[in-house]
C-alpha cells in the first residue's frame, strides 16, 4: 500500500473527510509515531504490534565494488513484532 492508497482508504472509510484532511491525519499520525519512538523507544498498538528502537553494533563489512574491508559504525533501526491477531489474518 502506498501513501496515496492509505489516504484514499481513510477518506473512503470516514464520513465526509476530504482527501487533504485525510492526508493531514496520516502525516500527523506518522509524525507522532516518530517522535514517540525517539523519546520512549517503544510503541505498542494492541491488535497490531509493537515497534521498538533496536541498536546495531559496529561491525566489519566489505565494499561490494572493490572488496575492500570497511568498518560500519553503530546505528539504530526500528524493529516490528506483529501481534498474534495480526499474524492470524496474514
Cα–Cα distance measured from residue 57 to residue 74, given in angstroms and rounded to the nearest whole number: 5
CA dihedral 27, 28, 31, 37 (to 10 degrees): -130
Residue 83 dihedral angles phi and psi, to the nearest 5°: -75, 150
Q: Are strands 75-82 and 69-72 parallel, antiparallel or unpaired?
A: unpaired
Determine if the pTM surpasses 0.85.
Answer: no
Q: How many CB atoms lie within 10 A of CB 22?
A: 19
Tell me the per-residue pLDDT of 22-78, one tens digit each, with 9 for 90 and over: 999 999 999 999 999 999 999 999 999 999 999 999 999 999 999 999 999 999 999
Amino acid at each position: 500500500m502506498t501513501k496515496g492508497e492509505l489516504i484514499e482508504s481513510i477518506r473512503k472509510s470516514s464520513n465526509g473527510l476530504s482527501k487533504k484532511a485525510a492526508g493531514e491525519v496520516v502525516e500527523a499520525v506518522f509524525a507522532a509515531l516518530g517522535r514517540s519512538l525517539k523519546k520512549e523507544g517503544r510503541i505498542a498498538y494492541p491488535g497490531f504490534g509493537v515497534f521498538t528502537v533496536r541498536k546495531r553494533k559496529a561491525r566489519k563489512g566489505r565494499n561490494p565494488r572493490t572488496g575492500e574491508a570497511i568498518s560500519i559504525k553503530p546505528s539504530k533501526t526500528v524493529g516490528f513484532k506483529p501481534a498474534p491477531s495480526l499474524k492470524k489474518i496474514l
